[in-house]
Amino acid sequence: MTKTVEYFFSIGSPWSYIGFDAFTELAAKNDVVITPYLTTVVEENGGIFSRNRPEIRRAYWTRDLKRWARVRGKELRLDHRPELGDPTPASLFVIAAYLDGQDWIGVARALQHAFWSEAKDIGRPDVREAIVVAAGFDGAALLRRQADDDVQNKWAADRVHARDSGVFGFPTYVYDGEIYWGQDNLPFLERHLRGDKP
């Protein structure tokens, strides 16, 4: 029986990047259909941007990210990296691919890798287009689509749905009414998918 997991994530979240492949592999193994929702930190639910946290907590956050990146086999550039642009336009690429029935997972993976492993400014349209073209997608079409009403409307609706679902940080997985926050909660999500509901 096919199961559906609502997946809330942000291109601008390193935790979303670190846990992305582990989640998609888990989904494939457990016959899961993923419904993606892209947004940014939901501050009204208690989410906190890393830049707004005390320095001692930011330092721990950085160490924890590096530990998990090694566990997940991800190269993560956090030090000596250039200032990155707004990840919002990249989210619109992923939404457009999803709405058009394309491989949105492949588009998200390419953009996240460029953002977090190569420190590329995916806020720039030329950079974004080149990244997805190199990954085998029609970058010009995705660039055109990002301004379309259905793409913009889903971007706005995704944030409302995240807020109303109790999401505050990323990644968050919702299955059968149960919220799992953080890629470190994937083992609990998998147990639930296999019948062990908390």
Provide the CATH number for the domain around residue 174.
Answer: 3.40.30.10
Distance CA 190, CA 110 (A): 25
Active-site option among 13, 16, 50, 117:
13
Domain hosting residue 116, numbered range:
3-194
Which residues are paired to 70 by β-bridges?
none
- Which residues have a Cβ under 8 Å from the Cβ of 70 and sit 6 or more positions away? none
Segments of the chain with pLDDT less than 50? none
pLDDT for 59 equals 82
pLDDT for 79 equals 75
Q: Is 13 a catalytic residue?
A: yes
Nearest of 35, 142, 140 to residue 92 by alpha carbon: 142
pLDDT for 143 equals 95
This model's pTM is above 0.85: yes
pLDDT for 45 equals 66
How many structural domains comprise the chain? 1
pLDDT for 48 equals 67
- For the stretch 174-190, pLDDT in tens is 999 999 999 999 999 99
